[in-house]
Structure 1
Amino acid sequence: MTDATTDAPGKVTGGRTAQLQHTGLRHGWTTGACATAATTAAYTALLTGEFPDPVTITLPKGQTPAFALAAEDLRDGEGEGEGEGEGEGEGNGEGGGRGGRSAMAGIVKDAGDDPDVTHGALIRSTVRILPPGSGVVFRAGPGVGTVTRPGLPLDVGEPAINPVPRQMIRDHVAGVAARYGGTGDVEVEVSVDHGAEIARSTWNPRLGILGGISILGTTGIVVPYSCSAWIDSIRRGVDVARAAGRRHVAGCTGSTSEKVAVAVHGLPEDALLDMGDFAGAVLKYIRRHPVDRLTVAGGFAKLSKLAAGHLDLHSGRSQVDKGFLAELARHGGAGEELAAAVASANTGLEALRLCEAAGVPLGDLVAATAREEALAVLRGAPVAVDVICIDRAGTIVGRAEPAGPRGPHGRG
């Protein structure tokens, strides 16, 4: 997607990218991007005997950042592998098993101007050759957590390397294999120096992710966070949309919900607002500077916070209220056993899945109630509002249209 920008004098510059640039803050890289770069460098060293430094990767939206290596280590192993041909440190030298040749590369995470607790952490990836047909197998090394409870996008027992970083790593492993004659069958062990200590400052322990941090990211880029700068960029985004004659805008919590809003409504770039966690900022500014229609699109868990009356959706200032979700589920026909299960769910996603399995439309109820809260903040401004809730994969799990049913609170 390109920006709706122009250099002509007197013309406005619009689009989500322009809104981000207006914050004046330097972006950074996710742990997932760092792990992908480290894996790419390590696997390249296994097949060629040399570490690329810097190592360049391709992010989901096409950006090609280069990362300097902070650590590297190529080992011949101790002859304990299951395969043959462990190699002599050059050529492809593919051996097999955990005892064969291995390569480790490490990259220091730069979070830019974002106050990220993982800024400065050393993200390491150790790659070992596996027998043909094994595919890419992920392991949690020291400092990377392991999932111990249901409700997350990973199965219990899996290393806390989220789906998008896993796919990025698989894609780059395949690219290195194709370039240097490997099979792409490898074990990738991601570790983070002092990760267990860093994780104490995150929600991982409460979510049942134990032993370290998670390897995260959907775009590979860390968007810098500043309340004043971000709210100012939202206001500028509304102004730009109105100046361009847009009467329908979308406030989105992230890039995935932005794609869904575009797919559903066909909105142009300059009608998209990167709302992030600042739902209140969007609603209050549009109350004073109305458009005909506002779409609020975001993850189910974040929009459940809006439904519960929170206007700041950041995890540090508001939490998913499973008791509130249980109340909504009851209004949707859930019995007490299901309501109790929702109230004790590990995550909002788990609560949603429980209700979906029972035929209770919790997603629609959250969307409808979030819409009522949005209308309450708009205070009668002439703005039609619809809400779209999605899961982590971008699947729509709840909708509320301007003339749709009311939520259980009956507001709006």
Structure 2
Amino acid sequence: MKDSTVVIRTYKYRLYPSKSQETNLFRVRDACHGLYNMVLAERKYVWQEYGETVPSETLQAFGKRYRKTFPYAQQVYSQTVQSVIERVDEAYQGFFRRVKKGEKPGYPRFKSKQQFNSFEFKQYGSGCKIDGRRLKIYGVGRVKVRWHRELIGKIKLVRIKHQAGEWYASFVCEVPRKQTITSDWEIGIDVGVSALITTSDGEKVENPKYYRAGQAKLRRLSRKLARAQRGSRHRKQALQAVQRQHRHVANQREDFLHKLTHTITNIYGRVAIEDLQINNMVKNRHLSKSILDSGWGLFKEQLQYKAAEAGVQLALVNPYKTSRKCSNCQREFVNLTLQDRWVECLCGLSLDRDHNAAINILKQAGWDTSAVANVECV
């Protein structure tokens, strides 16, 4: 049963392994990568030949044999082996779920070393634990960590990841949920492309568009990568430069959204947003880049966990026609296009389209919206 008194948070820290420690980290990663592909091959064979799944007990026994058979795999902690097998199972569960829903199946695929870039310790203290100012990792040693912020809560899981030539440790923690609501104020929020958010109070936060701002540099780095010879040291360096640029943009976006969602949950006691299906929306090739650059999904994710942590009530409302109805009389606007940024209604309402949508979102939350920002109808 889920504990309602805690929320899950992840804290990510940079690791600084020595050369020998990095060699061991790669050995563990590579052993996990080999196990993943072997388990996937076994499951794929059984599924294609017999139309059946492999019992989890059989797969766990397979993992034990793998550690005994291959000397390099003995450097991998037993629970890490279990987590690799569970990753294959999760990939298949996702495949079955998509088939059942009639979506594109996306059959589980074999992974290259670049694609398989992390491994886990499912239980903190077993194979991985904090030792002073360092992180003690089974098969690797005591690795230096940059503790740039306080680690709060009970550690449940540790994930080690190699990203753009750098190593990181992510700690998944249980953090006590705050029981107090920050205020009685409520707000409706409409997300967009030009303005990242528009509130029911009429305030707008512009979209910083970090990806588009760094696109010229990314194109230049990508051309250098394309010219580099496969397998060469230069190509490896060029690839890491591209990866670092992508990570830099992602970090900028994440930091901006952290500050924005922190401000929202600090000010308001009730927040309403649209329950948008981002995966479906990015299928539109004209909007996909703008939507992903805006970080709508990350904004929603951060707002959800911060609201839960701060005791803020968050409502996810149906986005159907929130932009196409008058927030004053609920009359539907006819022939409204994406180019129309201002709406006018027969009832006299004349309002910015996104502001109108934000008010509708707040009203759909079902709270007492008598305190909704006064909008003058002329």
Q: TM bucket by the smaller chain?
A: under 0.3
Question: Which structure dedicates a bigger proportion of its chain to helix?
Answer: 2
Choose between structure 1 and 2 for higher RCO, CA contacts under 8 A separated by at least 6 residues. Answer: 2
What's the TM-score, normalizing by structure 1? 0.23
Normalising by structure 2, we get a TM-score of 0.25
Larger radius of gyration: 2
